[in-house]
Every structure is written in C-alpha cells, then in structure tokens.
Amino acid sequence: MAGRNGRTVRDLRRANRTAVLQRLYFDGPLSRFELGPATGLSSGSVSNVVADLVADGLVEEAGSVDSDGGRPRTLLRVAPHSGHMIGVDVGETRVRVELFDLNLTELARVERPLEQQGYDVEVIVGHIRDGIDEVLATDGASPELLLGVGVGVPGIIEHTEDRGAVVHGQTIGWDAVPLEELLRSGCRLPDSVRYFIDNGAKTLGQAEMWFGAGRGADNAVVVLFGSGVGACLVTADVENGRAVEWGHLTVRVRGRRCRCGALGCLEAYAGAESLLARWREEGGRPDEGIDEESALTAMLAAAYPSEGTKADPVALAVLEETAEYLGAGLSDLINLFQPERILIGGWAGLQLGARFLPAVRRYATTYALRHPAEQVTIDLGRLGPDAVTVGAAILPLADFFSRGGRRAEPVTEDRFPAWRAALEERSPR
C-alpha cells in the first residue's frame, strides 16, 4: 500500500532499517534509548527494527552501560561476521584482492603483479577471478555470505542495462570493455553476488570520506597519485563522489605526449610514470628491470640521500618540477570547486609523502585565487596503500545498507545474455 507521498510500508521499513544500521555502524555501539534521537525514530519503531535486525543476525549485543537510576542499558552493534565484502584494486603495478568483514577488517588478501602483459583484459579478469577464489579459500568464507564484489579500475565507467559496467580506459588501452559481463562469465560465484565497478580514484575518495582524512568534510577532493593521476570530487550535490579526469587537463600547449595520446596533459608531467621518464631523459639511472615503485624509491633515495651523501641534483630538479606541476593542477581544482580539503593518496603520493607535500602546497596556493586558497587544507590521505580496495568494498556495503540490510536478488537470466552464452561454451576448468 502506498501513502500520499508514494512510499509503501515496505519502503518505510527499509528506510528505518537503513537508519538504524547506519547509526550503529558509524556511531555504535549504541543503546536502544540512544538510537531514538540518533535516527529520529520513535522508541516503538526502534524496538521493532532492532528486533528484526537481531533476528536476521545483523545486529548483536555489545555489553551494557549504566543508566540514570534505572537498569543498565544494553549496547548494540552491527555483527561484523554477518556478511563479507570483497574489494579489488586494478592498479598500475598490481591487482590486489581483499576480503573484509562488515567492519572492514581485512580477513585475507592476494596480490598479483602486472608485468609484461600490462592491462591485457584476459589477464586482469584472470587475476580477479583467481584472487576471489583464493581469499575465499584462505578464510574459509562462504560465497553465500558475500554482499558483493567492488572493483576499482582506471578509466570512465559506463553503466549499461544489457552489459552492466563497461570500462572506457583510454590510457590503458581498454575501449568499451564489458568488465562486469566478463567477471560474471569468469568468476564462480552465486548469481546473488553483485559486482560494483567504479573508477579507482572514486573508490579511494569513498574510503577517505568514510574512514580517513575526509571525515566531517562537506566539500573535498581526493587525489589518486600513482603512475598517472586522477581525482574524486565530493560535494553536497555529489554525496558519494564523482570521478573527474583531472590528469587530462591541459597544462602545457604542445607539451609532452601523455599516455592517453594527447599533448600537454597534467599526467604527462605529474604521474610517477612521466616523473621517472623525465629523470631518465635527464641522465638518471635507476636499476634496470625494477618495477615502477622500486624505481621511484631509488629516485627519492638519490634526491634525498642519507646524511653525508651528496644529493643527485637531476633527481631533485625533476621532483621540484613535478611538485610545481602537481601544485598547479591542484590550483585548478581549488579555483573550480573551492573544496575544504584536498587529500593526496595513491602509492606514489604515499611514497613521496610529507617530504614532497610542502612544495606542492606552496605551488598550489601560488597559482590559485587567494580567497579559495586560504580556505583549503592540503594533506595526505590516512588509509595507506589499501585505500582503493577498502573503498571498493564500501560499494557493496553501501548498497547493502541502502536496502535495509536485505541481500540482493539474483541477477536475472536475461540481463547479460552475452555472458550466459559464453558461459555455456566454456569447458570446465
């Protein structure tokens, strides 16, 4: 039955369950008495919702506290082992797959390096498929407990009705890759397990806003600084964040060629890949055959050596130039969006860390308009190298909360006819 506002009783119950789950998750443990004002629900509604959630195994008791003159009040919390999520980071140097409980405590992880094969689609799908199998086997977790698999990838994500999430990753050579369809055909999971695929910068932003340095901010930009650069914008109008292709703003007309094919992109100067390329062009000599992360470590050691050792002036000059380009790029974000906070994450951002940050701040405020520059803080993210996988795991968790803690319905037979046909043709492994 629908009310005057179009909401049914079922909608109301779902909204009430969502409100209680979210308050317990972010502010718990809480008593039933505290849940009333925290959610705006009546005491009777709170009691009914809590009873349902306890019966479903989603909420459990977590001790008690004294009340003012009455009986002790029982504290409640979300039961951490009542569901699991998997987060996947398709990064520039590796594919990382992690299994989490509802508290986002890591239960298992698998990493696969990306070497000569790079971003070959079949290789990536294989790494994700095998990683999912391994983390589930490592922890002995049942696939039936999975709320979903979140995947952070480079590029623009298009959500289609017939093929699910399609990835347009120009910088990695992916042209309309139907990643969700491929994962469904390749991964051995129940149809009820959904895939949530989004841009890696957005999943990083989601994690920092929920649990990291972005908590409490209404308007923030979270920057992913790795082989390339990207950003996620979070405002009151874009509550869950929007990925922006910040790395492909033009910062120099007829400049260096970016891996996207254009000339003068920010990523052609500020990404770790271009930073190392410019060091080599100027005479820098990282050890041959080492991966990108190790090469950046070597460059930092050359620029900032231990006491008594002379610094490499070429490495220092390239790092300073990179800081200026990155700062100039941040000034565009400051002028366009006037954020309260800018947070820098990603493996390269974390490696460069506090040593690099003062110069980036200086250039950002130099190039930005004075008033918005005075209002913003620029800091490092707090969640470390796992931030993208944590953010990816948040995607199915947020969906689970939005449905009031109800599990997803199985994917229908006709949603992905192409992967159904492909699955029938595949021989058993």
- Global confidence as pTM: 0.85
Mean local confidence (pLDDT), 40-68? 88
Q: Strand 146-153 vs strand 195-199: parallel, antiparallel, or unpaired? A: parallel
DSSP string, 207-265: HHHHHSTTTT-SSEEEEEESSSEEEEEE-SSSTT-EEE-GGGSB-STT-PBPTTS-BSB
**Residue 385, pLDDT above cutoff 90:** no
Question: Tens digits of per-residue pLDDT, 86-128?
Answer: 999 998 788 999 999 999 999 999 999 887 667 889 999 999 9
pLDDT at 240: 65
The tokens describing 254, both together, are: 């007829």
**Residue 130, pLDDT above cutoff 80:** yes
Question: Tens digits of per-residue pLDDT, 334-361?
Answer: 999 999 999 999 999 988 887 889 999 9
**Residue 298, pLDDT above cutoff 50:** yes
User: What rounded mean pLDDT belongs to the chain?
Assistant: 86
Between residues 137 and 69, the one the model is more confident about: 137
Query: What are residue 129's phi and psi, to 5 degrees?
Result: -60, -50
Q: Residue 244: left if φ>0, alpha if ψ -120 to 50, beta else—which one?
A: beta
Mean local confidence (pLDDT), 128-153? 88
pLDDT at 116: 63
pLDDT at 127: 93
Q: Which residues are paired to 150 by β-bridges? A: 87, 196
**152 pLDDT tier (thresholds 50, 70, 90):** very high
Contact in structure between 169 and 401 (CB atoms under 8 Å): no
pLDDT at 1: 45
Q: How far apart are alpha carbons 292 and 305 in whole angstroms?
A: 19
